[in-house]
């Protein structure tokens, strides 16, 4: 699926319910554990068949020792019944152990592969998909698949097998009554199929609404400071209540369909049983059946009720699994347009700064009608710092994102030391290019783990230097220093502190190409001056592309490129542009006034 075609199937529209055939796509994850699955199917079926044979032992007791008043003849049959009971318990125990091993392993493998796939998908995919929808898939939907693989699928086939075995036994006991039972069960199959199709659609809608609800909760938790500061708790509660009400209605509708299914499956066999009892008594009266055979027939008919009732629950669970599988494969089927080269190229062996070139680079967002960048040319020499300046919406941020292939160009080429970035292995490219974003993202981990995210084996000296450059010495005053956990999204820190940690992460190890997207926007004037002073030392030993909104940041650069509507309209040093370009001068003047 092309990246631009990604759509979320949430509550805003009708979602495709999927089909049972879609479950066959789970086979790659089931195959490594097929031995366990076959073992579970065999043991579950044998246990239920053994349970179904017991009525025949009861018939033998009634027509034999009981009818003859032969107490001594009862013991072998009672012992046989006890043996069957023990065998049934052992078989169920073995199945349970196999289920615990295989089902959890299947769920773990799928969760790992799903998460890995999410990491491979481009930024544009994550921009369009609500995080709650992805979260519900990787948690509740995968748990549904685990229950299906470890229990429902096994007992679905085991129940079908037992139903067939019981029907055969009924036909053998009395062909007329047995065939009659088989025939009158046909309407039950038709009704079951009708309700399961309806349940499939309703289960999918409930799952999508669960994802919507999770998205709302996540956003409200991450934005709790904004919500409280604007006094919007009531509004958010109202929105949450509305989403929860929609989910409740969807769940109630689903449960009503399930209740109807259970009613049909539960009551219909009882009507059949009433008929079996009536005509069975007539058969005994006419000598076609013995008393023991009638008891066995009725007992088998009763035993048939549970597999049929369970089959209704299993069908409902299977339909939920079909919906969960369809939701998962919506993501699995999404292919990244950031493709790894089949035969990756290598950068020239050089540990110093790299030359960065933009050759007629164009970019258009998926689904957009016009390009954001238009045949842009820019040549940044090794060791040079280039500042990008331009009004809001001119394309500065997307240009920086193209260097590390967070997005791919739609026209032209970006080269590092003469090698096109799309010919480099992504890991190599992203080791060469280090990026700090204007909106810093920190993880629920220690300060050191956040700083060394891109270079886990960094030395203490490298970490110390990065902290010094970013003027992030405040970390030493935290309760546990570098080992202090910063909390989810780093919200325990101020905006300026988060931005300095993100900058330290970017400059760690002195990357060959450094991309900075206005990384000092949240700093006060004093801290900004200290960071810029320390940053000059790093910029002298790397190639840098810096999005700048202030004159003080522009002064760090050797040259400045002025962007306007996706085009470079001026290129030169800061003093040259200041003297000769009115647009540049006016832009920096506006920024300075805003800063003041």
- Residue 304: pLDDT over 90: no
331 Cβ neighbours under 8 A, 6+ residues apart: 114, 117, 118, 121, 134, 137
Residue 406: CA count within 13 A, CB half-sphere: 16
pLDDT of the residue at 362: 95
Contact assessment for residue 357 and residue 402, using Cβ atoms and an 8 Å cutoff: no
Average of pLDDT values for 289-301? Answer: 81
Please provide the average confidence, as pLDDT, over all residues in the chain.
Answer: 81
Enumerate the CATH 3.40.50.300 domain ranges in the chain, comma separated.
Answer: 356-595
pLDDT of the residue at 411: 93
Average of pLDDT values for 396-408? Answer: 90
Per DSSP, 105 falls in state H
pLDDT of the residue at 16: 47
Question: How many Å apart are CA 337 and CA 120, to the nearest integer?
Answer: 10
Question: How many Å apart are CA 451 and CA 431, to the nearest integer?
Answer: 15
Calculate the alpha carbon distances from 37 to 94, 96, 100, 503 in Å.
Answer: 12, 11, 11, 51
- Residue 384: pLDDT over 80: yes
Question: How many Å apart are CA 97 and CA 150, to the nearest integer?
Answer: 10
Lowest mean pLDDT among 104-108, 264-268, 377-381: 264-268
Question: How many Å apart are CA 53 and CA 166, to the nearest integer?
Answer: 9
For residue 560, report the phi and psi dihedrals to the nearest 5 degrees: -130, 135
Average of pLDDT values for 346-373? Answer: 87
Per DSSP, 87 falls in state H
Closest CA to 138 of 79, 214, 74, 81: 214
Domain 26-332 has CATH 1.20.1560.10: yes
pLDDT of the residue at 15: 43
pLDDT digit string (tens) for 133-188?
Answer: 888 888 888 888 888 888 888 888 888 888 888 888 888 888 888 888 778 777 77
pLDDT of the residue at 312: 67
254 Cβ neighbours under 8 A, 6+ residues apart: 199, 202, 203, 205, 206
484 Cβ neighbours under 8 A, 6+ residues apart: 446, 447, 475, 478
- Paired tokens of 402: 């193209």
- At 78, the pLDDT band (50, 70, 90 cuts) reads confident
Q: How far is CA 126 from the centre of its chain?
A: 11
For residue 287, report the phi and psi dihedrals to the nearest 5 degrees: 80, 10
461 Cβ neighbours under 8 A, 6+ residues apart: none
- Residue 119: pLDDT over 70: yes
Cα distance between the two ends of the chain: 48
Q: What is the CATH number of domain 356-595?
A: 3.40.50.300
- Residue 122: pLDDT over 90: no
Per DSSP, 383 falls in state T
- At 489, the pLDDT band (50, 70, 90 cuts) reads low
- At 224, the pLDDT band (50, 70, 90 cuts) reads low
pLDDT digit string (tens) for 36-55?
Answer: 888 888 888 888 788 777 77
Contact assessment for residue 63 and residue 70, using Cβ atoms and an 8 Å cutoff: no
- At 491, the pLDDT band (50, 70, 90 cuts) reads low
pLDDT of the residue at 37: 86
pLDDT of the residue at 148: 86
Lowest mean pLDDT among 60-69, 79-88, 341-350: 60-69
- Paired tokens of 235: 């509004």
pLDDT of the residue at 287: 79
Average of pLDDT values for 10-21? Answer: 50
Which residues face 568 on adjacent strands? 563
- At 556, the pLDDT band (50, 70, 90 cuts) reads confident
Average of pLDDT values for 544-565? Answer: 87
- At 222, the pLDDT band (50, 70, 90 cuts) reads low
pLDDT of the residue at 595: 44
**In what helix (H) or strand (E) does residue 57 lie, and over which residues does it extend?**
helix 34-61
- Residue 356: pLDDT over 90: yes
- At 229, the pLDDT band (50, 70, 90 cuts) reads low
Enumerate the CATH 1.20.1560.10 domain ranges in the chain, comma separated.
Answer: 26-332
Name the more confident of 192 and 398.
398
- Residue 225: pLDDT over 80: no
Q: How much of the chain exceeds pLDDT 90, in percent?
A: 13
- At 282, the pLDDT band (50, 70, 90 cuts) reads confident
- At 10, the pLDDT band (50, 70, 90 cuts) reads very low
Lowest mean pLDDT among 76-85, 241-250, 569-578: 76-85
């Amino acid at each position: 699926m092309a990246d631009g075609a990604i759509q979320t199937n949430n509550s805003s529209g009708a979602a495709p319910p999927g089909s049972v055939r879609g479950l066959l796509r789970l086979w790659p994850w089931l195959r490594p554990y097929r031995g366990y699955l076959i073992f579970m199917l065999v043991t579950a079926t044998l246990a239920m068949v053994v349970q179904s044979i017991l009525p025949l032992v009861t018939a033998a007791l009634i027509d034999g020792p009981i009818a003859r008043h032969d107490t001594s003849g009862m013991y072998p049959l009672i012992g046989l019944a006890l043996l069957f009971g023990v065998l049934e318990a052992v078989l169920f125990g073995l199945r349970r152990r196999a289920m615990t091993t295989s089902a959890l392993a299947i769920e773990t493998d799928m969760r790992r592969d799903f998460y890995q796939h999410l990491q491979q998908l481009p930024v544009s995919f994550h921009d369009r998909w609500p995080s709650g929808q992805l979260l519900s898939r990787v948690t509740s939907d995968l748990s549904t698949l685990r229950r299906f693989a470890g229990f429902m699928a096994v007992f679905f086939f085991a129940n079908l097998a037992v139903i067939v075995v019981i029907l055969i036994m009924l036909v053998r006991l009395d062909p007329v009554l047995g065939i009659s039972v088989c025939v009158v069960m046909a309407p039950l199959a038709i009704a079951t199929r009708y309700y399961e199709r309806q349940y499939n659609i309703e289960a999918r809608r409930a799952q999508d609404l669960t994802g919507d609800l999770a998205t709302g909760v996540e956003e409200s938790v991450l934005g709790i400071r904004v919500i409280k500061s604007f006094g919007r708790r009531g509004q958010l509660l109202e929105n949450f209540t509305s989403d929860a009400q929609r989910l409740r209605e969807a769940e109630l509708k689903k449960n009503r369909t399930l209740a109807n299914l259970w009613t049909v499956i539960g009551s219909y066999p009882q009507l059949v049983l009433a008929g079996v009892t009536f005509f069975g008594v007539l058969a005994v009266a006419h000598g076609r059946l013995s008393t023991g055979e009638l008891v066995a027939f009725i007992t088998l008919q009763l035993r048939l009720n549970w597999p049929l009732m369970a089959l209704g629950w299993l069908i409902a669970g299977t339909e939920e699994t079909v919906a969960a599988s369809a939701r998962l494969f919506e993501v699995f089927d999404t292919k990244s347009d950031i493709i790894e080269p089949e035969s990756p190229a290598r950068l020239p062996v050089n540990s110093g700064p790299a030359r960065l070139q933009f050759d007629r680079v164009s970019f258009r967002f998926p689904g957009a009608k016009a390009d954001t960048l238009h045949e842009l040319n820019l040549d940044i020499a090794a060791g040079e710092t280039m500042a990008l300046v331009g009004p809001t919406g001119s394309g500065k941020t997307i240009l920086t994102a193209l260097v590390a292939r967070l997005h791919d160009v739609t026209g032209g080429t970006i080269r590092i030391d003469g090698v096109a970035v799309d010919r480099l292995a992504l890991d190599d490219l992203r080791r060469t290019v280090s990026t700090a974003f204007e909106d810093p993202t920190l993880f629920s981990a220690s300060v050191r783990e956040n700083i060394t995210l891109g270079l886990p084996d960094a030395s203490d000296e490298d970490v110390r230097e990065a902290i010094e450059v970013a003027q992030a010495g405040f970390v030493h005053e935290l309760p546990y220093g570098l080992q202090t956990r910063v909390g989810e999204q780093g919200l325990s820190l101020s905006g300026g502190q988060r931005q300095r940690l993100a900058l330290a992460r970017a400059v760690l190890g002195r990357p060959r190409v450094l991309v900075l997207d206005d990384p000092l926007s949240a700093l006060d004037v004093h801290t900004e001056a200290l960071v810029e002073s320390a940053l000059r030392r790093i910029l002298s030993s790397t190639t840098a592309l810096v999005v700048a909104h202030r004159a003080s940041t522009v002064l760090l650069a050797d040259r400045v490129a002025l962007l306007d509507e996706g085009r470079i309209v001026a290129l030169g040093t800061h003093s040259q542009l200041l003297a000769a370009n009115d647009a540049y001068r006016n832009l920096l003047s506006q920024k300075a006034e805003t800063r003041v």
